[in-house]
C-alpha cells in the first residue's frame, strides 16, 4: 500500500540537516515537493548554496529514511528553480536555530540579536563562517561569538 503524502512529509520532517542537526531538511525548506508518479515516489529537493558539501549527504539521508520506512521505488529530483531562499526556513526551524546558538536569518538591514542573551549590540566579524550559509558575529554585551545564518 502506498503511504500518504502527508505520511512521507512527516518522515522527511525527521531527517536532520547533517551540519545543523537541530533542524530538519523540511524545516530548512530544501524538500520542495513530494508526489507519486504511478508507483514511484518523487522527492523534489533544492540545494541551499550551490557548493554546499552537505547536499550529497542530505540526498543520502533522505534515501535512507525512505528505505527504512519500506519505500522501494523512489527517485530524487533536483529543482534549481526557483532558487532556495532563507525565507523558506520555517518559523519552528528559525526558533530551533536560535536555541542551538545560531542567529536565524533576518532580512538584509534588519536588526540581528545575540542568540544567547538577545542583545542587539552585535558586531560583524566576517561575512563568512564555518559553512557557506553562515557569517561570524560577536555579541558586545555577553562577549560571546556566534554564527548568523546568512540571508539568501
Partner 1 sequence: MTALFEYLLRLGDSDLILSHRLSQWVGHAPAIEEELALGNIALDLLGQAQLWLSLAAQTANDGRDADQLVYLRDAGEYRNVLLVEQLNGDFAHTMTRQFFFDSFHHLLLGALTQSSNGSVAAIAAKSLKEVSYHLRRSRDWVITLGDGSEESHRRMTTAVDNLWSYTGELFQMDGIDQALISTGVAVDLAGLRQAWLRDITTTFADAVLTTPQNDWAQRGGKRGVHTEHLGFLLAEMQFLQRAYPNATW
Assess contact for 18 and 54: CB atoms under 8 A.
yes
- Report if residue 129 touches partner 1, rule: CB under 8 A: yes
Q: Which is nearer to partner 1, 93 or 129 (CB)?
A: 129
Q: Which is nearer to partner 1, 108 or 111 (CB)?
A: 108
Dig out the grid coordinates for 66 from the structure: 525512505
Assess contact for 86 and 150: CB atoms under 8 A.
yes
Tell me how far, at minimum, the Cβ of 132 lies from partner 1, in Å: 5
Q: Which is nearer to partner 1, 4 or 85 (CB)?
A: 85
Category of 5 on φ-ψ map: left (φ > 0), alpha (ψ -120 to 50) or beta = alpha
- Report if residue 81 touches partner 1, rule: CB under 8 A: yes
Q: Which is nearer to partner 1, 11 or 146 (CB)?
A: 146
Instruction: Give backbone dihedrals phi and psi of 131, rounded to 5 degrees, phi first.
Output: -135, 165
Tell me how far, at minimum, the Cβ of 7 lies from partner 1, in Å: 30
Assess contact for 116 and 70: CB atoms under 8 A.
no
Please report, as residue ranges, which positions from 83 to 102 form the binding site for partner 1 (by CB under 8 A).
Answer: 83-85
Are β-strands 102-103 and 145-149 bridged in parallel, bridged antiparallel, or unpaired?
Answer: parallel
Which of the ranges 57-65, 89-97, 129-137, 140-148 carries the binding residues for partner 1, by CB under 8 A? 129-137
Q: Which residues contact 17 (CB under 8 A, 6 or more apart)?
A: 23, 24, 25, 28, 54, 58
Q: Which is nearer to partner 1, 68 or 130 (CB)?
A: 130
Among 39, 68, 72, 80, binds partner 1 (CB under 8 A): 80
Contacts to partner 1 by CB under 8 A: 47, 49-53, 80-85, 125-130, 132, 136, 150, 152
Amino acid at each position: 500500500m502506498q503511504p500518504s503524502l502527508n505520511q512521507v512529509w512527516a518522515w522527511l520532517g525527521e531527517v536532520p540537516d547533517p551540519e545543523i542537526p537541530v533542524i530538519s531538511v523540511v524545516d530548512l525548506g530544501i524538500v520542495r515537493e513530494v508526489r507519486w508518479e504511478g508507483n514511484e515516489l518523487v522527492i523534489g529537493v533544492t540545494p541551499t548554496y550551490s557548493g554546499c558539501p552537505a547536499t550529497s549527504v542530505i540526498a543520502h539521508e533522505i534515501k535512507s529514511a525512505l528505505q527504512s520506512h519500506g519505500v522501494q521505488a523512489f527517485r530524487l529530483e533536483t529543482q534549481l528553480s526557483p532558487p532556495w531562499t532563507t525565507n523558506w526556513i520555517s518559523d519552528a526551524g528559525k526558533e530551533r536555530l536560535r536555541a542551538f546558538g545560531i542567529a536565524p536569518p533576518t532580512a538584509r538591514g534588519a536588526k540581528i540579536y545575540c542568540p544567547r542573551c538577545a542583545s542587539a549590540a552585535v558586531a560583524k566579524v566576517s561575512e563568512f563562517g564555518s559553512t557557506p550559509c553562515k557569517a561570524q558575529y560577536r555579541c558586545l554585551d555577553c562577549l560571546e561569538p556566534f554564527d548568523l545564518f546568512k540571508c539568501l
